[in-house]
Amino acid sequence: MSQLIWNGLFVGSFYALVALGYSMVYGIIKLLNFAHGDLYMLGAFSGYATLGALGGAVPGGSLIALLAVLGLTMLVTGLSGVALERVAYRPLRGAPRLSLLITAVGASFALEYGVRLVAGPNPQVYPVRLDGTGMSVLGARITLQQLALMAVAVGLMVALNALVMRSRQGRAMRAIALDPKACLMMGVDVDAVISRTFFIGSALAGAAGVMSGAYYGKIDFLMGFIIGLKAFTAAVIGGIGNMKGTMLGGLVLGLLESFSTDWFGGEWRDVFAFGFLILFLTVRPTGLLGERVTERV
Amino acid sequence: MTAVQNPPVKPVRGRGPSVVTRLLESRRLGWGGLALGLLAPFVTATPYALNVMTSAAVFVMLTVGLNIVVGYCGLLDLGFAAFLAVGAYTGGVLATRLELPLLATVPAVVVATVVAGVVIGGPTLRLRSDYLAIVTLGFGEIIRIVANNLDVTGGPSGIYGIPGLLGDRLSDPVVFYYTTVVIVSVAVLFAARLGRSRIGRAWRFVREDEDAAEASGINTYRVKLAAYVAGAVWGGLSGVLFAAQLSAISPASFTFLQSALVLMAVVLGGMGSTRGVVVGAVVISLLPELLRDLADYRFFVFGVLLIVVMLLRPQGLWPHRSREPDDPATRSTAGADDLPAKEEK
C-alpha cells in the first residue's frame, strides 16, 4: 500500500515537471504545445549524448556529474523550445487555433523522426544508471536516488513558482496571460516574454527527460508521445494554466496509475489514464484548481 | 522560411475566372479523376502497382471521412485511425468467426462505428477544439491498447486469414482494385453531396463561427455529433476495405502515425475541399512509394511539410472555393510585413 503511494508520487513528480511546461505555455498563449513531449525526448537524448561525450571522465553514477549534465540539457532543450516557437508558432499567432495545432503536430513529427535520423531507430541504453540500495520507510522500499531525483524535481518546481509569482518576469507572464494586447500597449515586449516562457517550459521537460533516462535506463525516439499525453492529462486534471493545480494533477495522475496498475494490471494502465482524462473533461473541464475561462466576448 | 510572400498586388476585379480556374472548378473534373483511376491498370498492372493503387484508393476513402470531421465541421480529430480499427476489427472478427464474406459484415460495421462515434463524440463534443484534439488522441490510443490486450482481437498478433469482400471470389487483384475504386468513388461522391446539403452548410457554419451558428438556431452539438458519426462510418467502411486488402490486421496498423498521415492528407489537399483532399490522399499514399530511397527521411519530411504547408498555404494546395466573391480582407495586400496581417481573432 505505502509502496504504491510512493511509486505514484515518484512517477507523478515526473509528470508534474513535464506538465508544468504545457501548462505555462497554455496559460500564456492558449496554445497546446503538442511537441512538448518530444522536447522531453530531446532532453533524454541530449543528456545521453552529453554523457557519451564526457565518456570516462564521469565516474559512473555520480550525482554531481548528472546534475551538470542536467543543466546543460536544460539549456539545449530550452533553446530548442524557443526555436520551435519562433519557426512554427509565432508566424501563426492570431491564425485559427486549428492551424496552430496542426503545425504543432508537424513539429512533433519533425522532432521525433529528426532524432531518429540522428540517433537511429533502436532504443539506447543510458550509460548512467541510478539504482542504489533501498531503505525501508513505512513499509515502502525507497532508494536514495529516487529521493534525490524527487528533490531535484521539487526544487525545480519551487524555483519556477518563485519565478512566476515573485519576479518581474513572472509578473509580465501573468499579465500577458490576462490580456496580451493591453500588455503590448503598456510596453511589455510580448514576444520576448513568450520566448522566455517557452525556454523555461522546455527546459523543465528536458530535465525530466534526463532524469527519467537515468532512472529507467532506456530511451527511444517515441518516448515523448505517451508522456506528452500523460502530462496533458495531468495538466487538465489539475486545471490547465494553473501552476499549483498542475503539480497537484501530476501527483494525482501518478497515484491513479500506480493503483490502477495494481488492480487491473500494467497493460491496462494507459487505457485507465486516458479513460480517466475523458471522464474528467466531461465532468469538470476546468480541472481541480482551474477557474472558468470566458472564451470569447 | 517565410520568404514567399503574397505579391503586393491588388486583387484584380471585373475579370472572369481564367481558363485554368474554370477547368479546376469544373463539375466534370470528378469524372475525369474516376476515369484516370479506372484506366490506371491498363498503364501498369504489376501486382505491386495494383497493391499500391488499391491502398491509395482505400486511403482516399479514409481521408474523405476525416475531411467531413476536420474539413467541413472544423473538429480536429487526432485519433481517426480508431475508426479504421473499429471497422477493420468488427469486419475481421465477424468474417473469420462466422465464416462470412466481408461484405456481409458491413451492416454490423456501420452499427459498430456509429456506436463508437456516439460513445466518444457524445461526451466530448462539448469541449473546445484543442481539448477535443487530445481526447480523440487518447481515444485512439485506448482502442489500440484494447485491441492489443483482448483475446477476441487476437492480441498483438492480430487476425489472420480474413476473406475477401465476396469470400474468395474477389481475390484477383485487378477485380479487387476495380471494386475498391467503384466503392470509394461512391463514398467520395456521397461525402461531397453531404457537404453541399443542408447539414453540410450547417457544418461549415459551425466551423466558421460556432457561437454565431448557435445564435442562429443551429443545434451545434447535434450538428457536430452528426459530422463525427458520419466521419466514423466512412472510417469504418474504409477499415473493411483495408482488412479485405491485407487479409490480416494487427494493432500496429492503427497507431497515431496512421491518424497523423490522414490528417496530413486533409491539410495538404485543402480542408473542406473534396477534390483537394482526394488529391492530397493520393499524393500522401503514393509519395512514400516514389521516394523509397528516402525511407528514413519520410516521416521527418512529413512533419516539416505539415509546418511549411500551414505557414505558407494554410488553406491547402487546392482549397474549397465558395460561390460568393472573395472577402477582400482575406487577401492581404500589405507586402511590407513579413506576414499577411491577420489581426482578427
Q: What sign does the dihedral B265-B248-B94-B241 (CA atoms) show?
A: positive
Q: Which long-range contacts (CB under 8 A, 24 or more apart) does B98-102 make?
A: B99/B163, B100/B163, B101/B163, B101/B164, B101/B165, B101/B166, B101/B167, B102/B162, B102/B163, B102/B164, B102/B165, B102/B166, B102/B240, B102/B243, B102/B244
Q: Which amino acid is at B203?
A: W
Enter the C-alpha cell of residue B194: 453531404
Q: Which of residues 151-210 of B touch A (CB under 8 A)?
A: none
Average the pLDDT over each of A44-53, B23-32, B54-63 and give the range with the smallest value: B23-32
d(CA B271, CA B316): 7
Nearest neighbour of A101 by CB, restricted to B127, B133, B142? B133
Q: Is the pLDDT of residue A75 over 90?
A: yes
Q: For A12-49, write each residue's pLDDT tens digit.
A: 888 888 898 888 888 888 888 888 999 999 999 998 88
Residue B6 has pLDDT above 70, yes or no: no
Tell me which of A22, A34, A89, A103 to substitute to probe the interface with B (most B C-beta atoms closer than 10 Å): A103
Check whether A58 has a pLDDT greater than 60.
Answer: no
Kindly state the cell numbers that stand for B230: 458520419
Band the pLDDT of A157: cuts 50, 70, 90.
confident
The pLDDT value given to residue B65: 92
Complex ipTM value: 0.81
- Confidence band for B343, pLDDT divided at 50, 70 and 90: very low
- Please give the angle made by the CA atoms of B209, A104 and A212, to the nearest 5 degrees: 135
Of A158-167, B55-64, B306-315, where does mean pLDDT reach its minimum? Answer: B306-315
pTM across the whole model: 0.82
More confident residue, B309 or A58: B309
pLDDT above 90 coverage of chain A, percent: 9
- Round to whole Å and give the CA distance between A233 and A249: 8
Residues of B in contact with A97 (CB under 8 A): 129-130
Nearest CA distance, B342 vs chain A (angstrom): 6
Integer-rounded Cα Rg, in Å, for chain B is 21
Per-residue pLDDT at B66? 92
* Residue B72 vs residues A127, B67, B121: alpha-carbon distances, Å: 50, 6, 16
Q: Residues B77, B130: contact at Cβ < 8 Å?
A: no
Q: Cell numbers for A136, please give them.
A: 525501508
Q: How far is B210 from chain A (nearest CA, A)?
A: 11
Please answer yes or no on whether B76 and A98 come within 8 Å at the CB atom.
Answer: yes
Q: What part of B 289-308 touches A (C-beta under 8 Å)?
A: 296-300, 302-307
User: What does DSSP say about strands A124-125 and A218-219: parallel, antiparallel, or unpaired?
Assistant: antiparallel
C-alpha to C-alpha distances, B199 to A263, B73, B120, B193, nearest whole angstrom: 46, 10, 21, 10
Put simply, whether B124 touches A (Cβ < 8 Å) is yes
What's the average model confidence in pLDDT over B209-224? 86
